[in-house]
Amino acid sequence: MGIIKDFVNQTRKPEGRLGKLMLSSMNTGHAKLADWGFTHLPEILPEKAVDLGCGAGRNAGELLKKYPQAHVTAIDYSALSVEKAKDYNKKMIEAKRCEVLQGDVSDLKLPDAAFDLATAFETVYFWPGLEKCFTQVARVLKPGGVFLICNESDGKDAAGTKFEGIIEGMKCYTPGQIEAALKAAGFFEVSSAHHPSKPWITVIARK
């Protein structure tokens, strides 16, 4: 169980050799979930988007494809994730359409009201206090900006509950808990969707 526990704990902050292995699996392993989440975005044409907890960079790349007029900022707490996300989006970085930064979502070093869209895929489990972090997201979004959250766990599924006991600092939230924290942070028009056959959830909020 030791090596397995060490490996799955890399989902929180990938580091070292095991972190590299985890990141190599993230882009493909979470692709179907992320693509399902993207389908819930409203009809918007963002000029600036930010992907929070970007991991190995695949979802930032999908934002660049989906919104060819947009500039995308990708942020992750892990230096290794930042390195991998830069590699994945190298061409778009060279084209000045993307930047990848290391940062903490509880204290975002980003300007106020700068983004039209924020996304968070498979990451809010590890955020240090939802309301505190959601307040930071609200701060960097423009009025009317959209925030998309997509999780593999609905906070009630057996797998999510199991991993909470294995991965340090992990907390799986129900859609209701996420919606309440979003409203407390200043978001409105909050809605959620649940996959018909999986515990996947998507929550959309507007500032």
- What is the domain range of residue 179? 2-206
Strands 48-52 and 71-76: parallel
Query: For residue range 45-60, what is the model confidence (pLDDT) as tens digits?
Result: 999 999 999 999 999 9
Domain CATH code at residue 163: 3.40.50.150
- Give the per-residue pLDDT at 29: 60
106 touches 76 (CB < 8 A): no
Lowest model confidence (mean pLDDT) among 19-23, 137-141, 188-192: 19-23
pTM given for the model:
0.90
Query: For residue range 83-102, what is the model confidence (pLDDT) as tens digits?
Result: 999 999 999 999 999 999 99
Spatial separation of the C-alpha atoms in residues 203 and 175, rounded to whole Å: 7
Q: How many CB atoms lie within 10 A of CB 42?
A: 10
Q: What is the count of structural domains for the chain?
A: 1
Which CB contacts under 8 angstroms, 24+ apart, belong to 21-24?
Answer: 23/55, 23/56, 23/80, 23/81, 23/84, 24/56
50 touches 117 (CB < 8 A): yes
Phi, then psi, of 102 in degrees rounded to 5: -90, 135
Farthest-apart Cα atoms in the chain, separation = 47
- Give the per-residue pLDDT at 165: 77
Tokens of 174: 């129900």
